[in-house]
Structure 1
Amino acid sequence: MDRALARERVLDAAEELFYGRGVRSVGMDEVRGASGVSLKRLYQLFPAKEQLVEAYLERRDARWRGQLAAYVERHEEPRARILAVFDWLGEWFGEPGFRGCAWINAYGELGATSAGVAAQVRAHKRAFREYLGSLVSDAGLPGAAAGQLFLLAEGAMVTAGVTRSAEPAAEAREAARRLLDAV
């Protein structure tokens, strides 16, 4: 098996296990078993578990933000695009196996002890906030609205993860709609 394929198999297994059960509860041997990659190859690819966690978060970030943007871009009107963020969150929250925000979960487990994981989480959250900022700018709204929308979305993510419900997305969407109407 070539290096690229082995890396993808390890990341696929790590994502399923880390997201489903938590980073600390999953050992590298479990990742090896689920990926079908030898332990030697696994450690050649990721010499430390922390590096694997960082790579998992980085890869998931690219996919997550890409899926969000593709969904939002289906809407033409700038304010509708902002509200579409919350519609997309609702769909995500309703997916089988949804277990909250992977970055918030990882930060809760490792943020205090892993500078690399904390940096990945901060980069993801910064990129999401900047994306919301671009939507706010396109709608001709004051820049401060981006931070308020970000907090609504983040609060919905945490609440949905805890309650295992998609309802926080609808509630945050309604709050976002009221915010947009007010500005």
Structure 2
Amino acid sequence: MTSSPRSPARQRLLDAADRLFYAEGVHTVGIDRVIGEAGVAKRSLFYNFSGKDALIGAYLAVWDQRRRDRIARHQEGLDDPVEKLLAVFDSLQEAVLTPGYNGCAFANANAEALPGSVEAEALRTFRGWLATMFLALTTEAGFTDPHDVADRLRLLYDGAVANSQLDKHPDAVRLAKELALMILDTSPREHATGQNPPEPASV
């Protein structure tokens, strides 16, 4: 995200926080550095945010919406819930190939965060949304145990995120998607919600 000279102070602070917090960490970067990078007066911070915690919360909210929008873009035009599930991995592949990728903003922010902190709340909010989305799609796809399938897919997703960052593994997401496809192909299914059950085989 880039800011123009005429950007409101709030947006300039968010843009600076986005660059610095993601690259170096929310606990490493001090608030004075964000203010200096944004090129605003110190009073602008407290006019727009109550303090650093509020700025961190706003920064993570931007990342939350960014991820949801990217996943929605990859799922756009797809009707099959299984294809939508696989599209989540395509969305992640796009993210890890983006220049400057530095892992999961939520996990990074939570590395030294305390329980109940703004960072913990942001992580819980996004992961709750992700879990709900996986479960809704596995249920719609008609899997006999949609909770189990959703849990397996989320584990693969988390592993791909961690592997891409910690080991700089360029193929981590591709491998995770291949394993996800195996799970989706082999897990027992009844029939997709809203569709007729499959016709019995002729004898």
The counterpart of 2:122, out of the listed 106, 120, 123, is 120
* Runs of 4 or more above 6 Å deviation: none
CA gap of 1:27–1:150, structure 2 versus 1, over 3 A, is same
Scaled by the length of structure 1, what TM-score is found?
A: 0.90
1:100 aligns with 2:103: yes
Gaps of 5+ in 2: 1-6, 188-203
* Contact 2:27–2:109, Cα closer than 8 Å, also in 1: no
Q: CA deviation at 1:126?
A: 0.7
- The Cα of 1:169 is off from its aligned counterpart by 0.6
Q: Secondary structure in 2 aligned to 1:109?
A: coil
Query: Alpha-carbon deviation of 1:45?
Result: 1.8
Q: Partner letter of residue 133 of structure 1?
A: L
Coordinate RMSD, CA, aligned = 1.6
1:24 aligns to what?
A: 27
Aligned twin of 1:129: 131
C-alpha displacement at 1:15, in angstroms?
0.9
22-31 or 68-77, which deviates more? 68-77
The percent identity for this pair of structures is 35
Is 2:194 the partner of 1:154?
A: no
Matched-pair contact (CA < 8 Å) for 1:72–1:84: yes
Structure 1's unaligned 5+ residue stretches are none
Q: TM-score, length-normalised on structure 2?
A: 0.82
Code of the aligned partner of 1:30: R
Distance 1:166 1:39 in 2: 41
Q: Which moved more, 1:158-167 or 1:27-36?
A: 158-167
Contact 2:45 2:51 in 1 (8 A): no
Q: Identify which of structures 1 and 2 has the higher relative contact order when contacts are C-alpha pairs closer than 8 Å and 6+ apart.
A: 1
1-structure distance, mates of 2:23, 2:100: 7
Contact 2:10 2:44 in 1 (8 A): no
Given the superposition, is the C-alpha separation of residues 114 and 171 from structure 1 closer, same or farther in structure 2, using an over 3 Å criterion? Answer: same
Structure 2 counterpart of 1:169, from 169, 173, 184: 173
Cα distance in 2 for residues equivalent to 1:16 and 1:173: 29
Moved more, 146-155 or 38-47: 38-47
Q: What letter corresponds to residue 133 of structure 2 in structure 1?
A: Y
Contact 1:13 1:31 in 2 (8 A): yes
1:12 equivalent in alignment to 2:19: no
Q: Give 1:132 deviation, angstroms.
A: 1.4
Corresponding position of 2:74: 71
| Amino acid of the structure 1 residue aligned with 2:69 | G
Please say which structure displays the higher CA radius of gyration.
2
Q: Write out per-residue CA displacement over residues 133-164 of structure 1, whole angstroms, 9 at most, x where no aligned residue.
A: 22212222232211111111011111111123
What is the total number of aligned residue pairs between the two structures?
179
State the shift of 1:113 in Å: 5.7
State the alpha-carbon separation in 2 of the partners of residues 59 and 133 from structure 1: 24
